[in-house]
Structure formats: C-alpha cells, structure tokens
Amino acid sequence: MSNNPDSSTTKRGCGFGCLVTGFAILGFVVFLVFAGIVGLGVIAYEDPAMRKMITQHKATLEGDYGEDEFPSLEEVWSYGAGTTKVVRIPIEGMILLAEGSHTWQPNSTALSLRSIRRATLDPDVKGIILEINSGGGGITDSDIIFHALKKFKEADESRIVVAIMGDVAASGAYYIAVAADFIFAHPTTITGSIGVIMQSYNIKQLAQKIGIQDVTIKSGDNKDFLNPFQDIKPEQREIVQKIIQAMHQRFVHLVAENRRLAREVVAPLADGRVFLADEALKLKLIDGIGYSEDAHKKMAELLKTDDGIRIYRYDEQLTFWDMLSRPGIGLSTSLRGLLRGEQTASGLHYQWTW
C-alpha cells in the first residue's frame, strides 16, 4: 500500500469529479430528449391530420369513447400517397374471438375486430382493404366480423370494402369476404367451402379395452349427447343436424344476398367443396383475379378519387406482459390454455378441414 497522502487525495478527488460530470451529462441528455419530445409534439400538432388524431386520442382518454369502441391502436402509413384515407386489415388464421377484445397475438381475429371498430369511428377512413388468409373458424366469430364490416359501411354510405384473398379464404373466411363490395383472389387462391361442420370422437371401444369407465351425472338424456365414451343416438344426431342445417341455410342466404345471386344458384355450390380462383370467378363467387396493387387500384376507382389513396394499418400497442406471452417468446396459446384448464375450440364451425 502506498503511504503517499497526495496520491490518495488525487484518486478520491478524481472519482468524485467523474461522478459529478456523469450526472451533469446525464441531466443534459435527459433535457435534450425532453426538449425533442416537446418539439416533435408541437410540430406534429401543427399538422392537421396529426392534430385530429391527437384530439381523438385525447377524447378517448377523457371517456367520449370506450377503449373497445375506439381502440388506442398505433396508426402506421403503409402504402400510397393520396389524400383519401384507407385502412388495410388482415384476417388471418383461425377465426376465433376467444382471446377477448384485447389480444397479444398479432393479426388475430380480436385485433381485426378492434381495427374495424377503430376505422368505423374515424370519419376520415373511407375504405377498408381486407387481406384474407384463413380457412375459417367459429360460426358466431365469423358473423361478428361480417356484422362489424356492415356497420362500417352503414356509418358512411360512401365507404367501400375490398377483399383480397391469399392462399385460402374458405368457409368462415369466405363468409366474411362477402361483406366486401369487390372480392379479389390471387391466381393460386383456394376459396369456397360454404358449409358447417361439427366434429367429435367416439372412444368407447378403446376405453373398454384399457379399462376406462365413463362416469357422467346428468339432468337429461341429451345433456351429454356428444360424450366420446357413448354412442350417439339417432334422435340426438337429428337434433345436431337440425342446428347445422339452420346455420348452413344462413350461410347460403348471406352469400346469395351479398353476391346478388339467386339462392337456387348458390345452394348446389354450398356442399363444402372448394374452388380455384378461375372457377370461383366463373361462378361469380369473386369479382376478379389479381394482386394487392389491383385491389388498391380498384379501391381508388370505387371511391372515385383522382389523386389516389393513402393506406394505413393499425398496430397493437403491446405491454411488457403481452410481449412475453407472444408465440415464440413466452407461453403459447395451447400451453396457456392447458395451464388454465381450458379446452381447445369446439362446437359448430364455418371451417374448411384439410
């Protein structure tokens, strides 16, 4: 150890000086960041579009709209440089609203519904481009999205919805698509599958072989009519079939009404079969074959705008827990469901099974 007092004093003084300098630099950086945020806010507020968005968001926070009426989604400029505002909204994967009004999963049905509601209450939004890539899903879930699109158009009769199909737009996804004023399919799209399905399993014989006995206490003979440990009775099958037929007839009716086709024309096509794009076009189940740019051009044409359209998308503002829960990072939907004792989606579906 050194006995030189000057050396000790010098080291202690340097450390204190560095600490003071560090705090000074940190304070200056914080000041610059704060000033920059304020400056950007002032600049943004000078822009009419930004001022409107800020005012609407402020109104939402003050309670004029609930979070699920006018969701606080991030609005991102996506395509185009026109003055007519259009929003692109994806319909992807299994159509299910089980996750609720908020969702951690990107492009889920819940986010799609929130986006449609957001667009509906924004008077500047004149059109929605639906980007569909789904084999369908729940009957009620599909109908809720269909209904939300109808409400979007009812809020302003000049509004337009254009759908562009991806790999698949079948069953419940096609159900949603018929709400559009114009439907495009890619040359390689598979669509159709107009129908209803309900599936279950019967493991009665397997259970008997391995010594598993069913114990069910019920209030009536039909309370467990799809019990996998029991054979379904003819009268029970008839009950389910009546429900399926009713939901099927609704599907056929909506297709006929929205595609302006006779019911007698749609009914023979509604046996669950799928169609390639060129056949679907001949049958008038779609209006055109093309790509995203064709959908954008058609939207501008239907909106009768001379200077083109400006397309936005909505991004979910995720919390820290949401990010941990996203697929590939945190717990998957299936694992979270198992941990909470939930079962996978069951019941009646407008869904293409392949």
Q: Is 223 a catalytic residue?
A: yes
Q: What are phi and psi of 289, to 5 degrees?
A: -120, 130
The single residue of 11, 151, 223, 233 carrying the catalytic annotation is 223
Euclidean distance between CA atoms 9 and 70, whole angstroms: 63
Distances in Å between the Cα of 243 and the Cα atoms of 246, 268, 349 are: 5, 20, 12
Q: Are 161 and 302 within 8 A, CB to CB? A: no
Our CA angle for 325, 329, 334, nearest 5°, is 55
Query: Which of 172, 93, 162 has the alpha carbon at shortest distance from 133?
Result: 93
The single residue of 108, 112, 142, 171 carrying the catalytic annotation is 171
Burial 34-69 (b: 16+ CB within 10 A, else e): eeeeeeeeeeeeeeeeeeebeebeeebeeeebeeee
Q: Is 2 exposed, middle or buried (0-12, 13-18, 19+ CB in 10 A)?
A: exposed
Q: Is 142 a catalytic residue?
A: no
Catalytic residues: 171, 223
